[in-house]
Amino acid sequence: MYPLTPLKLFAHESIKDDPLSRARMERIIGGTRPVDDELVWVDNSNMPEVVEQLKSLWPPDEVPEGFERTHMRPLVFTRVYTDGEFPELNKDLLGWPDGTDEATVRSILGHFLPIQAYHSYEKDAKEDMVCWPTFDFGLMTNCPHGCHYCGAGKHGKYLTIACNAEEHMEKVVRPAMERYPWQRCFRMIGWGAEMLAFEPEAGIFDLFTKTLAEQDRYGYFHAASSNVDFVADLERKDRLVGIFSVTTEMIAEVLEPGSGHAFDRFEAGRKLGEMGVPFRYKFKPTIPVVNWREEYSRAIEYALTVSEPESVGFCVIMWNTVDSLLEKIDEELLDPVYLQAARDAAEEMAGVRVGPYPHEVRKEVYRFMFREVRKHSDDVKLYMSTESRAMWDDIGEETGQDASSFFCGCSSVAPPGGRVQLSQGCPYSTYRAPEHIEKD
């Protein structure tokens, strides 16, 4: 796993009497180099004190030589709540101060969703988004990479790790496979997390792939990590598909401080290919930085020279206004012509999900990327991730795929092999919204 150097270690008391969870926690701790190696057990009596500590511990005022600031976030170990709705918290009854932050308390208690639904036909139609309906799993929150464009990465104060993975497989994963027979592939992704950072000590993907094999399903990891050597030892790696969020050398170095060299991910893809595990690349976000053409051209050439992904996708950075983008990325790093175009279109793009860059700017970026990919591969599947219907209508044909049935990176219906498996439960992508969909 990553050689993390957490400032402090915390564990909720529920782990004490759970041998499997405790063993997982101890394996993970054994893979770290904590600044303070005392494990603080958390219960109702010291919860407010711990909540206050988590507010202020990270980021540290000083970073020792050889340490990475973003790898110093405290670790909180817990058990994810798998029994339906979360119980209410009565702070008065518990004797906690009024200012005790409920969100942090719930993280410590494991009150985060073990499964979430994304990209329903109705929601994507409302938000003008083209993707695939899916149910994703999570056992962690927040990430050690510290990516500037990511809220949890840049500002998250701690990482939460749920250790009851066996219970999660039994109460969440198996029932989901039975309830959603149309979903061929499930992501184990976490919420704003980098779950690959904790393997193989966490052992989650070993459990996950074995569980998926019981019902002939496939699973994704979705990572900005190159930590894949452990995959070679997975008994059911035939059930795994690797999804890499990839980028350029400059972006990784400056905007993804805890993620390692950008090209390490392409080498990780090569390793998976040698193991017989399929993999896909997603340039998400695609950021029009200064010299972006040269940056992305070099990354694409390297990726397709050393490895053979099933697909390569792009998503020009979105979910932003000009102001919010500049809060995350320094102006001098961005292509000035495109930034000015975004400023000029600010009124037009106000409240538009795909902002801040207007349609013509994003279109120009995508076309450049498609051409670069085709210089090195005639066969790899091309796609745009979470783009608008208008963009698919405009240049979708240039991907070589149909907007309603395209093979992407982490679709719920894209098992290995390059072809989607449609069914009554998922007959199309969310480019179309069929009137009659099998409901559960």
**Rounded (5°) CA angle 373-362-136:** 75
Q: Is the pLDDT of residue 92 over 90?
A: no
Q: How distant is the alpha carbon of residue 223 from its chain centre?
A: 6
Contacts of 241 (CB under 8 A, 6+ apart): 185, 218, 219, 220, 277, 278, 279, 280, 415, 416
- What's residue 435's pLDDT? 64
| Entry field: residues in the chain | 440
| Residue 140 token pair | 């962690």
Q: Is the pLDDT of residue 95 over 90?
A: no
The beta strand positions in 67-125, using DSSP E, are 75-78, 115-118
Question: What CA–CA distance (Å, rounded) separates 202 from 207?
Answer: 10
CATH code at 9-86+100-399 = 3.80.30.30
The stretch 122-149 carries a mean pLDDT of 96
What are 295-331's pLDDT values in tens digits?
Answer: 999 999 999 999 999 999 999 999 999 999 999 999 9
What are 356-403's pLDDT values in tens digits?
Answer: 999 999 999 999 999 999 999 999 999 999 999 999 999 999 999 999
- What's residue 440's pLDDT? 39
Share the mean pLDDT of the chain: 96
Nearest one of 355, 354, 282, 334 to 124, comparing CA atoms: 354
What are 260-288's pLDDT values in tens digits?
Answer: 999 999 999 999 999 999 999 999 999 99
- What's residue 245's pLDDT? 98
Question: What CA–CA distance (Å, rounded) separates 159 from 152?
Answer: 10
Residue 434 binned pLDDT confidence (cut-offs 50, 70, 90): low
Share of the chain above pLDDT 90, in %: 94
- Does residue 309 have a cis peptide bond before it, meaning omega lies within 30 degrees of 0? no
- What's residue 155's pLDDT? 87
Q: Is the pLDDT of residue 124 over 90?
A: yes
Residue 439 binned pLDDT confidence (cut-offs 50, 70, 90): very low
Residue 136 binned pLDDT confidence (cut-offs 50, 70, 90): very high
Residue 433 binned pLDDT confidence (cut-offs 50, 70, 90): confident
